[in-house]
């Protein structure tokens, strides 16, 4: 399996709802990432998990809560979002570990994204 | 400040042309550089990764070059096809988990 999968593909939620985004990879990668992307802009990094521990939080509001239950799975829990949070949410993974010597330990592979609309 | 710029912002060409997309970065101490393709509303597809010690990488009709000293990378697309229409993003890494993305080049190849 050489891909990153994300569910759902689309999500519409109200500002009082609680929902979760899910990301999965079975490539044995040990780093996973959440990005937010607005239209015609490059992706913005939100969170990084390295060996199942949160290593980077780019000052993301607490209404976004990441979780990494195991090395293959990454969730993003959403609560009390605002309309401006509507965007494409992308998950990515990278190998880590023994790949460092090859210069590609942090090569990132992206999933197809979840299109989130907050009403 | 570490910044990445891509020129041109948009490009429209007839099928069959050879293309060059440019990526410039302000801090030349990069660890590696990735080129991605993104179709509208979709995720990013990794095209090529060039390590800082490499000068170029090739995959099919794509060739990416890297000149660290001048802070530049180019993506060469040979014999362009309508299916190549997409946004192309370059991203640099400084041996951390953060990728610094360029602003992207929107490519349209018409028949």
Q: How confident is the model at residue A13 (pLDDT cuts 50, 70, 90)?
A: very high
Nearest CA in chain A to B90: A42
CA distance A29 to B107: 31
Which one has a higher pLDDT value, A79 or B95?
Answer: A79
Q: Report CB contact under 8 Å: B97, A31.
A: yes
Residues of B in contact with A87 (CB under 8 A): none
The residues, ordered by sequence, that sit 6+ positions from A75 with a Cβ below 8 Å of its Cβ are A20, A21, A22, A23, A66, A67, A68, A69
Q: What are the backbone angles phi and psi of residue A87, rounded to the nearest 5°?
A: -175, 180
Mean confidence (pLDDT) of chain B: 95
Q: Which chain B residue lies closest to A41 (C-alpha atoms)?
A: B103
Partner B contacted by A55 (CB < 8 A): yes
**The pLDDT of residue A102:** 60
Instruction: List all residues 6 or more positions away from A30 whose beta carbon is below 8 Å from its beta carbon.
Output: A50, A51, A71, A95, A96, A97
| Token code pair at residue A22 | 């899910």
Report the share of chain A in percent with pLDDT over 90. Answer: 86
The answer, yes or no, to whether residue A1 has pLDDT greater than 70, is no
Give the helix/strand (H/E) hosting A22.
strand A18-25
**Dihedral (Cα; A5, A9, A14, A20), 10-degree rounding:** -10
CA distance A83 to B12: 34
In whole angstroms, give the CA distance from residue A65 to residue A30. Answer: 19
Q: Can you give the pLDDT at residue A80?
A: 94
- Does the beta-carbon distance from B96 to A115 stay under 8 Å? no
User: What average pLDDT does chain A have?
Assistant: 92
Of B34, B41, B89, the CB nearest to A42: B89
Token pair of B83 as six digits: 């299916």
A111 close to B (CB below 8 A): yes
Q: Whole-angstrom Cα distance, residue B18 to residue B61?
A: 10
A112 and B43: CB-CB below 8 Å?
Answer: yes
The half-sphere exposure of A84 on its side-chain side, counting CA atoms within 13 A, is 2
Partner-chain contact B41 A50, CB within 8 Å:
no
Give the model confidence (pLDDT) of A67-113 as tens digits.
Answer: 999 999 999 999 999 999 999 999 999 987 655 556 677 889 999 99
Distant-in-sequence, close-in-space partners of A57: CB < 8 Å, separation ≥ 6:
A46, A47
Report, as an integer, the average pLDDT of B73-80.
Answer: 98
């Amino acid at each position: 399996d050489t891909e990153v999968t994300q569910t759902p593909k689309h999500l519409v939620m109200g500002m009082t709802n609680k929902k979760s985004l899910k990301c999965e990879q079975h490539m044995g990668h040990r780093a996973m990432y959440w990005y937010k992307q607005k239209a015609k802009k490059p992706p913005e990094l939100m969170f990084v998990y390295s060996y199942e521990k949160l290593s980077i939080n780019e000052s993301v509001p607490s209404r976004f809560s990441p979780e990494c239950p195991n090395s293959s799975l990454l969730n993003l829990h959403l609560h009390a979002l605002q309309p401006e949070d509507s965007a494409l949410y992308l998950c990515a993974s990278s190998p880590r570990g023994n790949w460092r010597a090859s210069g590609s330990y942090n090569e990132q592979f992206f999933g197809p994204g979840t299109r989130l609309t907050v009403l | 400040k570490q910044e990445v710029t891509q020129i041109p912002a948009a490009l429209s060409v007839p099928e069959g042309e050879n293309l060059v997309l440019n990526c410039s970065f302000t801090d030349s101490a990069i660890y590696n550089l990735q080129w991605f393709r993104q179709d509208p509303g979709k995720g990013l597809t990794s095209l090529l990764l060039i390590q800082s010690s490499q000068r170029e990488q090739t995959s099919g009709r794509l060739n990416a070059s890297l000149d660290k000293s001048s802070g530049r990378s180019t993506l060469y697309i040979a014999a362009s096809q309508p299916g190549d229409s997409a946004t192309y993003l370059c991203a640099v890494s400084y041996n951390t988990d953060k990728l610094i993305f360029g602003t992207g080049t929107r490519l349209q190849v018409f028949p």
